Every structure is written in structure tokens, then in C-alpha cells.
Amino acid sequence: MVSKSTISTEFLGLEMVSPIILLSGCVGFGDEYSRLEGFSNSHVGGLILKGTTLEPRLGNEPHRVIETPSGMLNSIGLQNPGAKEVVDTILPKLEPLETHYIANVSGSTIEEYVDVCRAFDDSLVAAIELNISCPNVKKGGMEFGNDPEMSAQVVESCRKVTAKPIITKLSPNQADIKLNAKLCIEAGTDALAVINTISGLAIDIDKKELVLGNRAGGLSGPAIKPIALKKVYDVYQVSKKHGVPIMGQGGISSPEDAIEFILAGATTVGVGTALFFDPLICNKINQGLETYLRANGLSSLDDLVGGLV
Ligand SMILES: Cc1cc2nc3c(=O)[nH]c(=O)nc-3n(C[C@H](O)[C@H](O)[C@H](O)COP(=O)(O)O)c2cc1C
């Protein structure tokens, strides 16, 4: 357990023992990873549940995951038991004092996003993250998050039906992430998560076919870190004017990575893919952050946010 320490921070009005937040899709619904010896959910500031839709989903055909140089491509297809099952059956089994559990909401229409947010509004989750990297079925499958106006419509509609803090997770697969951030802030988001996975492809040269069952997938892990860092840096130029905090993410796998994201403008840092190759990595990052603060004579990580000279 991380005792009272300088790496604690505040995000969305929530006290967090560490700036680390476990990322959606990499820790199930919060229970399985906590069974790991040497790790407890109380070591991290928050944990984001698997993306949840209104109805249950079985996910995509295999293959759904493939390792790449310094990363992985996934196209899980939002496998989940549906909002009602998550709220009624899974959430009551979680220990809310352990960490801040955050819902991850997905939808294929604005109405679906709204209905799932409503389902979580009266639950124990501390906040709601909007995964806007989902295809909009009413707009020919274009992803909400690749269009700043559509992104903002999702935020504005969800804002009306929940009192929970909203985090909007921005897509890197678009032309103008700064405009997207600005419109989502104006639509009422409380924080921004930067970035979701980067669209990618893998080909089997013997079969001459695409490897992933869903054709394309999302690239994550250390391979995307420099891109993610640049997006956080860009978004921070907009978000700091509005006092809207960023949860930086994309390939973070060391204390040094986390500090880079904080210096670029992130208040909290997400860890996802790195958990697959080092399940205890969060303990190491926490320790490294404490060491860095002490070595630099800093009392709090907050002094570092956007602290590039
Ligand atoms: C297997 C897998 C499943 C994911 N599922 C979701 C999801 O359900 N919702 C979501 O918003 N992001 C999902 N993501 C994206 C991660 O939450 C994260 O934003 C991304 O992987 C970048 O961080 P990382 O490089 O540390 O993994 C998933 C990523 C992986 C690897």
C-alpha cells in the first residue's frame, strides 16, 4: 500500500494516492487483476472498467490481439455483459474504498451513450469516461471521436444525464485533436484522456490475408509513446486555458515515461499494455516517482504538470 506520500494528487475532485490510473480493457472489471500477489487496486489512483455498451456484446471474431514490435494491436470489439449486468452484478462486488472505479462508456448512437451514462449515474463509479472511438452507425460507421462536432455532441448529451465527472477519451486518428479538445471542453467535459489507440493493420504473408478478425485494430504500448506525448503536449495548450486536466496515456511503462507525460501537461497517467508484460509495473512506477520528487527537492507532482521550461 502506498502510504501518505508526495505522489498523491487530486483529479476531478478525487483524492488519489498515485497519479496512475489502470486503463480500460487492460484490467477487466476490476476484480481479476487485484488477485495478483504483490498488487492491490489500492496502489493506484483509479481503475477504469472495460468498455460497456447498453446490450451485452460477444466481441469480434479471432484473432483479436497480436503482438507487434514494442506494442500490440487489438480489436476486441467491446466484449462486455451490458450495462445492466455491470451495474447490478459486477459493481456491488467491488470495494469502493480500495480505489476510484471509473466506468468506460461506449455506444454506436448518441442515444446509446446517454442510456449507458444513465445506468452508471446512480452507481458507485467515481467518474464516467466516454470512449468516443466507436463507429456512429447513423453516420455510415465514422468514428465519433474522429469528428470534433460529433465528439462534442456525445459529451453534451451525456452531460445532461449524469452528475458524475466526465472524462472524454480523445482519438489520435484525426486531423485536429486541439479543436476536438476545445469543443469537448465547451460541451462540458471535466477532463480529457489523451490518447486512445492508433489505428493499425497486420498481414499474414503466407495466407495473404489480414490477421485480425475485424481487419484493423488499435495499436498500443511503448511503440506509440512519442505520438501520445505529442498529443498530450498539443491538447495541454488548449486545456490549460480552461483548467481542464488531462489523463495522459499511450505506452507508459516506466517512471520516466510517466514524468514525461506530466511535464507535457498530464495530471494523471494511464497504464495499460505495460501490465501485460509486467503486471507489477505500477509499484515500480510509484517508487520511481517518489525517488524523482525527492531527488529534485519537489514536494508534489502537481508542481511538475506542464512544467517544461
Ligand atoms: C486489449 C485492449 C483492450 C482495450 N479496450 C478498451 C476499451 O474497452 N475502451 C477504451 O476506451 N479503451 C480501450 N483500450 C485502450 C486503452 O485503454 C488505452 O487507451 C490504450 O491502450 C493506450 O494505452 P497503453 O499504450 O498504455 O495501453 C484497450 C486497449 C487494449 C490493449
Cα 216 to averaged position of ligand 1 atoms, centre (Å): 15
Q: How far is the CA of 25 from the centre of ligand 1 (A)?
A: 5
Which atom from ligand 1 is nearest to the alpha carbon of 131? 11
At residue 33 the predicted structure's pLDDT band, cuts being 50, 70 and 90, is: confident
Residue 297: is its pLDDT beyond 80?
Answer: yes
- Residue 2 in this model has a pLDDT that exceeds 70: no
Q: What is the mean pLDDT of residues 181-187?
A: 98
Amino acid at 129: E
Helix (H) or strand (E) holding 286: helix 281-295
The predicted pLDDT at position 208 comes to 98
Q: Which of 262, 275, 279, 268 is nearest to 21 (CA)?
A: 268
Q: Is 100 in the pocket of ligand 1 (CB under 6 A)?
A: no
Q: How confident is the model at residue 190 (pLDDT cuts 50, 70, 90)?
A: very high
Question: 22 phi and psi, to 5 degrees?
Answer: -75, 135
Give pLDDT tens digits for 90-135: 999 999 899 999 999 999 999 999 999 999 999 999 999 999 999 9
- For ligand 1, is residue 74 a contact (CB within 6 Å)? yes
Active site residue 134: yes
Residue minimizing CA distance to atom 3 of ligand 1: 25
Residue nearest (by alpha carbon) to ligand 1 atom 14: 25
Residue nearest to atom 29 of ligand 1 (CA): 25
Q: Give the DSSP letter string of 33-71.
A: GGGSTT--GGGSSEEEPPPB-SS-B--PPSP-EEEETTE
User: Phi-psi category of 224—alpha, beta or left, where left has phi over 0 and alpha has psi -120 to 50?
Assistant: alpha
Distance 3 CA to ligand 1 centre (A): 28
Query: Is the beta carbon of 225 within 6 A of some atom in ligand 1?
Result: no
What is the pLDDT, as a whole number, of residue 301?
Answer: 95
- Distance, in Å, from the CA atom of 114 to the CA atom of 54, rounded to the nearest integer, reads 10
Q: Give the nearest ligand 1 atom to 65 CA.
A: 1
Ligand 1 centroid to Cα of residue 109, in Å, is 21
Kindly state the average pLDDT of the residues 239-265.
Answer: 98
| Mean pLDDT along residues 176-180 | 98
Letter string b/e over residues 258-270, b meaning 16 or more CB atoms within 10 A of that residue's CB: bbbbbbbbbbbbb
197 Cβ below 6 A of ligand 1: yes
List CB contacts of 158: < 8 A, sequence separation 6 or more. 105, 113, 114, 117, 128, 130, 166
Question: What is the residue type of 154?
Answer: V
- CB 221 less than 6 A from any atom of ligand 1: yes
Question: pTM of the predicted model, to two decimals?
Answer: 0.97
Calculate the dihedral angle through the C-alpha atoms of 233, 194, 231, 282, rounding to the nearest 10 degrees: 70
pLDDT, position 203: 98
Candidate list 134, 158, 184, 282, residue with the active-site label: 134
Instruction: List Cα–Cα distances, 88 to 57, 58, 126, 235, in angstroms.
Output: 17, 19, 16, 36
What pLDDT does 6 receive? 82
Say what percent of the chain tops pLDDT 70: 98
User: In order of start, what are the domains of the chain with their CATH numbers?
Assistant: 9-60+76-197+220-304 (3.20.20.70)
* Top-confidence residue, 1 or 38: 38
Residue 64 near residue 215, CB atoms below 8 Å: no
Ligand 1 within 6 A of 46 CB? Answer: no
Q: How far is the CA of 129 from the centre of ligand 1 (A)?
A: 12
Taking every pair of C-alpha atoms in the chain, what is the biggest distance, in angstroms? 57
Query: How confident is the model at residue 222, as a pLDDT?
Result: 98
What is the residue with the minimal CA distance to atom 23 of ligand 1? 250
Q: Grid coordinates in use for 144?
A: 465519433
Kindly give the pairing relationship between strand 209-210 and strand 203-204.
antiparallel
- Give the nearest ligand 1 atom to 276 CA: 31
Q: For ligand 1, atom 12, name the residue with the nearest CA.
A: 24
Strands 14-16 and 65-68: unpaired
Decide if pLDDT at 5 tops 90: no
